[in-house]
Amino acid sequence: MAEQDMGRGGRSRPAEVIPLLGSGVLAAGPGLLVPGWPPMIAPLLIVPLLAALRLDARCTAVAAVLAMVLALTVTVARDLILTPRAAVECLALLVGGALTVRLAMRDAVRATALSHATEIARVAEAAILRPVDARVGGIAVCTRHHCRVPGTTVGGDLYDVVHTPYGTRLFIGDVRGHGLDAVRITASALSGFRDLAYVTPELPDLVRELDARLAPDLGAEDFVTAVFAEFGSSEVKSVNCGHPPPLRLGSPPKLLEPHAACRPLGLGPEPEQSKYWLQPGDRLLFYTDGLSEARDRQGVEFPLEEAAADASSSSTVRPDDFLDTLYEAVTTHTGGLLRDDVALILCEDVGSAGGRFSPGAAPYPSQRRPMLPHR
């Protein structure tokens, strides 16, 4: 039979009441069981108190009742039930037991509310930063994401890849700052991109429209660095808004610097488009500065191009293995501690025929995989 959840973030475990009762007997034992010792009933309150800290309200009530029964049994057996001290201590035990049950019930309500709030937050985060399919149009995609705040999946880094009438479009960005304000701007930026990507023919116009949409949500010092990419036939068009440039993997890897950089979103960008030629099987790595600006204890930045070359030393390396190896390299460089969010997107132009990085080679059909923990 499946266990029934009783709140307090745990489960009903009546058997655990017995050891707790034993601890109460040890505390009050000399006064209850040894002839000639003055009765000490109040220490039995430790039984429901410990139950309230560890178990649910039902088990706490059982513990309180058992403690009271033990106290009454011993006081009656020793003919102490009518003494003022025994009466006062029994009353204190009764009132204290009732209060511990109330405490357990209150904590159960809080635990349930926290569980519901956590589930709502999880669903909201999934709606903001949606999983990306392993293949979008003719582009194979693999992603990784690491949040600096444990237990969260949405921070200041954002990305999405969508298939539109104008080709497969990619958006990766980094919101200045952290916390709830960064999450709010992340949600607004991704929502705007998803709306505009399907109806705006030219990439620079998309950037201008998105900047205008974000303006009401940005404070005086807020901005979003970003790279926008549009994959076409044997080419990729890109607009870089103050963001680290994508890396073309190869021998050696090469940063695709923009022909003309522009300011980040929120700072009045004047977007200009760059164009790069692609061969079937070419891989592009898009990333945030949590990767490229990660530093070791001496302040030395992560050698991205060298690490990417090592991670892609084999022409047939699987994309998920490449990203995991790259993440392992950056955590090793920083000593296991990443002080910023990190987002990675590995793209390959597979066209209609597929390639080294095809859905058949990727074991995750729909994915927004978190980074693996550093070992």
What is the pLDDT at residue 125? 61
Q: For the segment 164-174, what is each residue's pLDDT rounded down to a tens digit?
A: 999 999 999 99
What is the pLDDT at residue 4? 41
Torsion of CA 182, 238, 349, 311, to 10 degrees: -60
Phi, psi of 40 (to 5 degrees): -130, 90
pLDDT confidence bin for 131, thresholds 50/70/90: confident
State percent of the chain over pLDDT 90.
30
What is the pLDDT at residue 336? 81
What is the pLDDT at residue 178? 72
- What is the radius of gyration, based on Cα positions, of the chain? 31
Alpha-carbon distance 226 to 237, whole Å? 14
Q: Which residues of 125-148 are buried (b: 16+ CB within 10 A; e: fewer)?
A: beebbbebbbbbbbbbbbbbbbbb
What is the pLDDT at residue 347? 93
- Give helix 84-128 / helix 180-196 axis angle, nearest 10°: 30
49 vs 154 pLDDT, higher one: 49
- pLDDT of 132 higher than 60: yes
Residue 276: beta bridge partners? 236
Q: How many CB atoms lie within 10 A of CB 5?
A: 15
What is the pLDDT at residue 354? 40
Alpha-carbon distance 198 to 317, whole Å? 33
Establish whether the linkage from the previous residue to 252 is cis, with ω within 30° of 0.
yes
Alpha-carbon distance 22 to 32, whole Å? 13
DSSP code per residue over 102-166: HHHHHHHHHHHHHHHHHHHHHHHHHHHSPPEESEETTEEEEEEEE-SSTT-S-SSEEEEEEEETT
Q: For the segment 312-357, what is each residue's pLDDT rounded down to a tens digit?
A: 876 678 888 999 999 999 999 988 878 888 899 999 987 644 443 3
pLDDT confidence bin for 27, thresholds 50/70/90: low
Average pLDDT over residues 218-244: 91
Q: Which residue shows structure tokens 């009438």?
A: 165
Distance (Å) of CA 61 to CA 45, 151, 200, 215, 366: 12, 34, 64, 57, 48
pLDDT confidence bin for 143, thresholds 50/70/90: very high
- In three-state secondary structure terms, 2 is coil
Q: For the segment 49-106, what is each residue's pLDDT rounded down to a tens digit?
A: 888 888 888 888 888 888 888 788 777 777 777 778 778 888 888 898 899 899 888 8
Q: For the segment 248-271, what is each residue's pLDDT rounded down to a tens digit?
A: 997 788 999 998 879 999 998 999
Could you give all domains of the chain from N- to C-terminal order, each with its CATH number? 5-124 (no CATH), 129-370 (3.60.40.10)
